[in-house]
Amino acid sequence: MNEPQPQPQARPQPEPTPPKPQSYESAAARVEEIIRRLDSGEASLNETLELVREGKTLIELCAGELEAVGNALEELRLDELVSRLEGEAAT
């Protein structure tokens, strides 16, 4: 006799990761959402792992944006200094 084969149980799927934010502000806002979710203690182990991974990626994105702005400001300061020195040398 053919006995029915046991059906594999469906594993719960982690919540889909939201699309990558396009700006520093939206990335920082998403990090705040992630922190609130983690602090709530309601996230499953799998969800916690996904949130931590997403948060790490977003924090790296924010750090890169801040570094780029810092570098641009430094260049601006150097340009201003060169202009000032050139102005002083011409007088």
For 52-78, the DSSP string reads: HHHHHHHHHHHHHHHHHHHHHHHHHHH
Whole-structure pTM over 0.75, yes or no? no
Amino acid identity of 30? R
Report percent pLDDT > 70 for the chain. 77
% of the chain at pLDDT higher than 90: 57
**What is the torsion angle, in degrees rounded to the nearest 10, for the CA atoms of residue 57, residue 62, residue 65 and residue 71?**
-110
CA distance linking residue 25 with residue 14, whole number of Å: 25
> Which band of pLDDT confidence, cut at 50, 70 and 90, is reported for residue 45?
very high
Tokens standing for 37? 């979710």
- pLDDT of res. 10: 57
